[in-house]
Amino acid sequence: MIAIDAIIWPADAREACRSYLGFLIKITEEMELTFPDWAPNPVVTAKAFVAGEIPEERYRSETNRWWDHIDSSGGMREFRDPSILSARLALCLLSATEDEAGRLGEHLSWFLEVLGFMGVDLEAPVAEMERYFQFQKQRGVGDSMQAASSEKCPCATGGRGRTTSDRFILGQGAS
């Protein structure tokens, strides 16, 4: 069993963000997850950011549209509405900046949690995560992979002081 906090992230913050975003892009594309047409596609925006084609300011500014959608829909505590979940997934793709590099495990945990809320079977994303990332060997991890709370993750809170009390535990009973 693996733990998200055992991922070995690149020491360079920008490279760590690129690694994180590469994984999210890969999963989003492989699972053919789509986004509404009323905002720029966050996968395209994240790819452009990773490639250095757009500055961080433009990349991050795209989060405003998604947060506005959540706010205008009264969706702050909504975890079933497909439109709100799509916005939350977009925020995962648009929230990986160098100043967040130390918390990428929290971001990854939230991404997997959003996929779960969307009804995605997490077996394939977790298997891909095991292949995609390198992990530290840990002793006494036990039978579960526990990720950090989404309470502090900007993709969950938008840097607007929002919180969620949900915690994400993945892997209990999974192989």
The answer to whether residue 56 scores a pLDDT higher than 90 is yes
Task: Average the pLDDT over 53-60 and give the result.
Answer: 96
Cα–Cα distance, 98 to 104 (Å, whole number): 10
4 or 139: whose pLDDT is higher? 4
Q: Spell out the long-range contacts of 75-82 with Cβ–Cβ below 8 A and sequence spacing 24 or more.
A: 76/162, 77/164, 79/117, 79/166, 80/117, 82/118
Percent of the chain scoring above 90 in pLDDT:
70
Degrees (nearest 5) of the Cα angle 152, 107, 167?
60
pLDDT recorded at residue 74: 82
pLDDT recorded at residue 75: 80
The answer to whether residue 131 scores a pLDDT higher than 80 is yes
Task: Return the DSSP state at 64.
Answer: H
Question: In the chain, where are the structural domains located?
Answer: 4-170
Task: Average the pLDDT over 74-83 and give the result.
Answer: 85
Tokens of 4: 């998200």
Give the alpha-carbon dihedral of 55, 56, 61, 66, to 10 degrees.
120
Percent of the chain scoring above 70 in pLDDT:
78
pLDDT in tens, 133-158: 999 986 654 444 444 333 445 555 54
For residue 129, which of 19, 14, 15 has the smallest C-alpha distance? 19
Task: Average the pLDDT over 99-104 and give the result.
Answer: 96
The answer to whether residue 69 scores a pLDDT higher than 60 is yes
pLDDT recorded at residue 1: 65
What number of other Cβ atoms are within 10 A of residue 10's Cβ?
Answer: 14
- Residue recorded with tokens 């909504």: 78
pLDDT recorded at residue 147: 41
pLDDT recorded at residue 155: 56
The answer to whether residue 106 scores a pLDDT higher than 60 is yes
Q: How far apart are the first and last CA of the chain?
A: 7
